Structure 1
Amino acid sequence: MTAFDYKKEYKEFYLPPRKPQIVEVPEMNFLAVRGMGDPNEEEGDYKAAIGLLYSIAYTIKMSKMGKHRIEGYFDYVVPPLEGFWWQDGVQGVDYTRKDQFQWISLIRLPEFVTREEFDWAIQEASVKKQMDFSKVEFFTYHEGLCVQCMHIGPYDNEPVTVREMERYAKEQGYELDFSDQRYHHEIYLSDVRKCKPENLKTVIRQPIK
């Protein structure tokens, strides 16, 4: 049996067209780590956060190999890395001031992962890896109404795509709806270590009303 792949099963959220579209995003549960600063720093908090997230994501996925049985478990592909991004006093994001980024780094959880199973995974990974996973949280989020688009190319070229999205949303009668609960959202479909910058695939979402 092939593993359940969220990207393929929910194409409307992970594989949108390269033209902007309006989407309603339902509530989901995530692994999340919060932080601040430039994501490109070599030994920075962002890179550390990604390591923490993947350690827990794979502890849950590989639980099938151990004694711990998660009720309702099904085999699945670990969903892609995602990120919410914002800066104080900025509507959306300013790509020229990466050092002022605040972020929540995320990986979607399968529906069978309860808070209790999350707690088990944190404990299990802490013992096995002898690391502190206290920064990882169980995060429930209902994103709601958004404009989204597939961006192909370097992250620094994203403003062009964002402007197209904002123009499209306005044409459709919507306005941007950033707040301390609604953020610029990116989903990273490419492995930045193996992919040329011009081929990077990133889903970009902006909250609207």
Structure 2
Amino acid sequence: MKYEWRKKDKGWYLPKAIPTIIDLPPLQYLTIRGEGNPNGEGFKSAIQALYAFSYAIKMSPRKGIETEGYFDYTVFPLEAFWDSKVAPIEGQPLDKDQFIYHLMIRQPEFVTKELMAVLKEGVIKKIGPERAELVQLETIDEGKNLQMLHLGSYDSEPISFAHMADYCEEHGLKRIGHIHKEIYLSNAEKVEASKLKTVLRFPIN
């Protein structure tokens, strides 16, 4: 039976628009790191590289590649950890050129570096060797987090983060660090900004 993350992992990827505590196990991702404005070509190229590998893995049986433990599944959504070279100033717009990002797409347990090496030649033909070399296979342990669904443009995310901060204060929770994660449930090129759905998440204790 096909693995559908929208059904199997609904609590992780489809939260309500209210703060919710989750505890995540270590999970495997294809990742790529970069910096700069997410509206720039470098960011778009990084996304293309992740999807090129992700779909090559999913479709590998059609290329005659047999992988132990393989099962059919829906490709997971794009995710990203976000940081900045400069501290944001409250009440001031963010300087997006200073952003640091760690983009990722979750992968099934059967994915290995050996499988990626087998698929690499085909991926290079699509995206070139430079971008293909930047994609890594990582296991990330996020642990205890607070998350909620944000409805609307990326620029209005501070509204939801304020709700999350209030929740932490009310329940005696502490945010760890300043980096946060976003999970993109909408295609920003096809969905108007006011209807975008994005999961916001940060670690707590």
Normalising by structure 2, we get a TM-score of: 0.92
Runs of 4+ in 1 over 3 A off after TM superposition: 88-91
Whole-Å separation in 2 of the counterparts to 1:123 and 1:95: 42
How does 1:1-209 map onto structure 2 within 5 Å? Answer: 1=1, 3-41=2-40, 44-88=41-85, 90=87, 96-126=94-124, 128-129=125-126, 131-132=128-129, 133-178=132-177, 183-209=179-205
Shift in alpha-carbon separation, 1:95–1:4, aligned structure 2, 3 A: farther
Deviations 1:90-110 (A, max 9, x none): 38x986111100001110001
Per-residue deviation, 1:115: 2.4
Aligned residues: 201
Deviation (angstroms), 1:189: 0.4
Q: Residues 94-142 of structure 1, C-alpha deviation per residue, up to 9 Å, x if partnerless? A: 861111000011100011112222232324422x437110010111100
The residue identity in structure 1 corresponding to 2:170 is E
Q: Tell me, what secondary structure is at the counterpart of 2:148? A: strand
Could you tell me how far apart the structure 1 residues matched to 2:104 and 2:12 are? 15
Contact 2:86-2:98 at 8 Å conserved across structures: no
Structure 2, unmatched stretches of 5+, are none
Closer, same or farther: CA 28–95 of 1 in aligned 2, 3 Å = farther
- Equivalent residue letter for 2:180: H
Structure 1 unaligned regions, length at least 5: none
In the superposition, the TM-score normalised over structure 1's length comes to: 0.90
Q: What is the aligned-residue RMSD (CA, Å)?
A: 1.8
Amino acid at match of 1:154: S
| Partner deviation per Cα, 1:46-71 (whole Å, 9 max, x = no partner) | 11100100000010000010121111
Equivalent AA in structure 2 for residue 114 of structure 1: T
Q: 1:118 to 1:112 in 2, by over 3 A?
A: same
- Matched AA of 1:174: L
The residue type equivalent to 2:7 in the other structure is K
CA offsets, 1:143-194, max 9 Å, x none? 0111100001111110000110111022111111016xxx310000011111
SS at match of 1:134: helix
CA contact (8 A) 1:22 1:169 kept: no
Matches of 2:186 and 2:93, distance apart in 1: 20
* Equivalent residues of 2:52, 2:127 under 8 A apart: no
**SS of equivalent residue, structure 1 residue 69:** coil
- What is the alpha-carbon distance in structure 1 between the residues aligned to residue 96 and residue 6 of structure 2? 28
Deviation at 1:77, TM superposition (A): 0.7
